[in-house]
Amino acid sequence: MVLMLVTALLAIPLKRNGNIPKEIKFASGFLVFLGFFWSHTFDDIFSLSLKGDYLARYMLGAWLLVVFSKVPIHPRAVLYGLSAGGIAAGILAAMQYAEIGRAEGFTNAIRFGNIAMLMALVCGSAWFFTFFQKKERFLFLVAAGLAGAASILSLSRGGWLMLLALPCVVFFIFQDKRKYATYLVLAMVPALFMVTLLPTVKERIVKANTEITGYFADKNQYVTTSLGARLEQWKVALWMGAEKPVTGWGDAAIEGGKLDYIRQSHAHPSIMNYNHAHNDFIETWARRGAVGVVILFFVYGMPVYLVLLAYTANKKITNKDKNLHELNKLFLIFGCLVYSGYLVFGLSDVFFTFVISHNFYIFTLICTLSVLQWIQRQATAPPAVHS
């Protein structure tokens, strides 16, 4: 937060340097809107909360988006940063797993493991692009492996589903060589299956199956388990949302609403052990109603649209430069992986509960759009004049 503020203050003079692209204006406005959305408690029309500094955080993000459209970020800076993060995550995960039996990072096991998975997928995707130097591709491969290990050691099952995106990514990268891409994707299927046979992964899958079937067969015994508790929370949150379908219960009243369900024996007391329903859509339905659910679709979908828009514009001007063309594809993959990942993670958790999730969301949008602006500038720059 402090770093964001300092950068924003130092960059104020850049505002006078030329026009701001309309897509950057729109993206910045979108971030400001999200700042108000996440700060709004939905208790009444004008109720805003300072919790998480969401409004300030997103407004600073909006300004930095403008700043880094003026001074675009070099793509290698982003990829090296992600690689450093992936390697650090793997090392920390190994240390924590050895000490406490689960990697949690410095925030929460689910956020740590899921963001590590996103870094693994992006670095792994970068490895497939052969225009990078061999030492760079080696760095990306090591980072992908260690970040993937961090996700596995976090024991966060929700993040592992994103491995299913790998065949789609590979096919997109090699779409110009359809036959090669098809063989590569087919070769990945048994590799992905092998991941499920890893002892840690297999144990978590078996446990998940036991808890889900157990909840429906003997609810009282399994309702306090990880997935049993989720199913109970989902049931109650769906009922609560149906009671107040437009704007939901709001932050102030939702806990009292849960207690009423418990008193009426419609819900198990264990739901009070958690401050959310472990599903972004269902929790938003109960807390913010249909209005919140509609906005949540934009939270996931709008960044993908903005990145896709920039990618499409660049695609028309990068055909003559293979490296820029490939970089354009890579950063489309980056943006799509992160925001589709957030959607997947939100199916089994309320991923935006922690500030780190908001930060990664904001900085991914800043970095992807800024790099795509860099690509555009490189593609449209006049050829160098040699004397």
**3-state SS of 131-200?**
CCCHHHHHHHHHHHHHHHHHHHHCCCHHHHHHHHHHHHHHHHHCCCCHHHHHHHHHHHHHHHHHHCCCHH
Could you tell me the pLDDT band of residue 209, with boundaries at 50, 70 and 90?
very high
Is the distance from CB of 244 to CB of 289 less than 8 angstroms?
yes
Q: pTM of whole model > 0.95? A: no
The per-residue pLDDT for range 263-307, each reduced to its tens digit, is 998 889 988 988 889 999 999 999 999 999 999 999 999 999 999
User: What mean pLDDT do residues 53-75 have?
Assistant: 94
- The pLDDT value recorded for residue 18 is 62
Categorise residue 52: left if φ over 0, alpha if ψ from -120 to 50, beta otherwise: left
The per-residue pLDDT for range 164-208, each reduced to its tens digit, is 998 989 889 988 887 888 888 888 888 888 888 888 888 988 999
**Residues present in the chain in total:** 387
Extended beta strands in the chain, E state: none
The per-residue pLDDT for range 219-229, each reduced to its tens digit, is 888 898 988 98
